[in-house]
A = this chain, B = another copy of it.
Amino acid sequence: MSHSIAIIGASGYTGAELIRLIATHPEFEIKALAANSKAGKPLAQVFPHLRHLELPDLVTWEQIDYDQIDLCFCALPHKTSQEVISKLPKSVKIVDLSADFRLRDPAEYEKWYGNPHSAVEMQGEAVYGLTEFYRDEIASARLVAGTGCNAATGQFVLRPLIAAGVIDLDEIILDLQCGVSGAGRSLKENLLHAELSEGTNAYAVGSTHRHLGEFDQEFSAIAGRDVKIQFTPHLGPFNRGILATAYVRGDVDAVETALRDAYANEPFVEVLPQGETPSTHHVRGSNFCHIGVVADRLFGRVIVVAALDNLTKGSSGQALQNANLMLGVEETAGLMLAPCFP
């Protein structure tokens, strides 16, 4: 059986990644692609790498006939996303890839994103889209909010540890490197090849990155108390990939056990043998997340390192995994592509 899919915001990287993945999905058919600034163009003009696919031309999101759509991916910038989604018919299931429905508390949203939320009534409805931890809610949801890509990576490391009570909640540091596609297709000087290649820098230093809103919300909910971590992202000279290095306090075996228990039956998250650590090279282009656990030389301190592809498991792959659940399709459909190495 085939499901009809629309993608709003098809001219950005997460839109393109959705199309790449759905291209080999056995049960999804793309019926509409919207990108208001490029409406009227064939997708191949915007993304020549997808020219072999038979796809509808780009339209505006208002032009889509939503009666024919089962599920709509919304890959718009935050703020725009809430405005569009609030106008979509209630009959359509939605997976939103923006930040707009990740934070349940409107005040937190405004604090981190700087504007009041214009679709507060929908915030309550939205399910947080970290598949492995919200699987049942997602399966029955109408609106799922995709997580931040950094937020997903950090949570794959830390949620099981907080839930199992095996680490000190006041001593969590998350240091992270993110590939440049995480910043989207925006035209900024620091994203130019000439400025980015062959070097690296930290940004949002001092734990000011917006994805901390998600960490605060989720970790505090799990712990039943306020949990505030330190978080420093770095921008790396690579297109795809997030490597998160977490510094925690606890027993290394307890940490490993908590992670193994959490992911024992997960098709996309793999815990490496203790002492081994992952590389973003080995998950590039795939929906897999590799996690490694190592004891520090200092007693009681543990380093956990996780690697995933920000565009896939961190964003569009996660979105597709959620859409599969929402439409009753095999959860791994379209997502078993092996990483592209070298």
A residues adjacent to B (C-beta < 8 A): 13, 16, 19-20, 23-24, 47-53, 173, 175, 177, 179-181, 185, 187-189, 191-203, 205-208, 212, 228, 230, 232, 234, 236-241, 243, 245, 247, 270, 275, 277-286, 288, 290, 292, 294-298, 301, 303, 305, 307, 311, 336-342
Pick from A13, A234, A241 the residue with the most CB of B within 10 Å. Answer: A234
Q: Contact: A207 with B296, CB < 8 Å?
A: yes
Once A193-B192, A270-B51 are accepted as A-B contacts, the answer to whether A240 and B198 lie under 8 Å apart by CB is yes
How many identical chains are in the complex? 4
Q: Contact: A337 with B339, CB < 8 Å?
A: no
Q: Contact: A52 with B296, CB < 8 Å?
A: no
Pick from A16, A24, A196, A292 the residue with the most CB of B within 10 Å. Answer: A196
Question: Hey, which chain B residues are within 8 Å of A201, CB to CB?
Answer: 243, 277-281, 307
Q: How far is the CA of A208 from the CA of B275 in the complex (A)?
A: 11
Residue from the list B49, B50, B230 in contact with A281, Cβ < 8 A? B49
Q: Contact: A207 with B279, CB < 8 Å?
A: no
Least Cβ–Cβ distance between A232 and chain B, in angstroms? 6
Question: Hey, which chain B residues are within 8 Å of A294, CB to CB?
Answer: 205-206
Q: Contact: A47 with B341, CB < 8 Å?
A: yes
Q: Contact: B199 with A284, CB < 8 Å?
A: yes
Q: Contact: A241 with B53, CB < 8 Å?
A: no
Q: Contact: A198 with B239, CB < 8 Å?
A: yes
Q: Contact: B342 with A13, CB < 8 Å?
A: yes
Q: How far is the CA of A188 from the CA of B192 in the complex (A)?
A: 8
Q: Contact: A205 with B305, CB < 8 Å?
A: yes
Least Cβ–Cβ distance between A316 and chain B, in angstroms? 12
Residue of B nearest to A235 (CB): B279
Can you list 29 pairs linking A and B with CB atoms under 8 Å apart?
A16-B341, A23-B336, A48-B278, A49-B281, A49-B286, A49-B341, A179-B198, A180-B193, A187-B188, A187-B192, A193-B197, A194-B239, A195-B281, A199-B279, A200-B238, A200-B243, A200-B279, A201-B279, A202-B277, A206-B275, A206-B297, A207-B296, A207-B298, A208-B297, A232-B245, A232-B303, A237-B237, A239-B342, A247-B247
Pick from A19, A173, A288, A305 the residue with the most CB of B within 10 Å. Answer: A173
Q: Contact: A198 with B284, CB < 8 Å?
A: yes
Pick from A238, A240, A270, A281 the residue with the most CB of B within 10 Å. Answer: A281
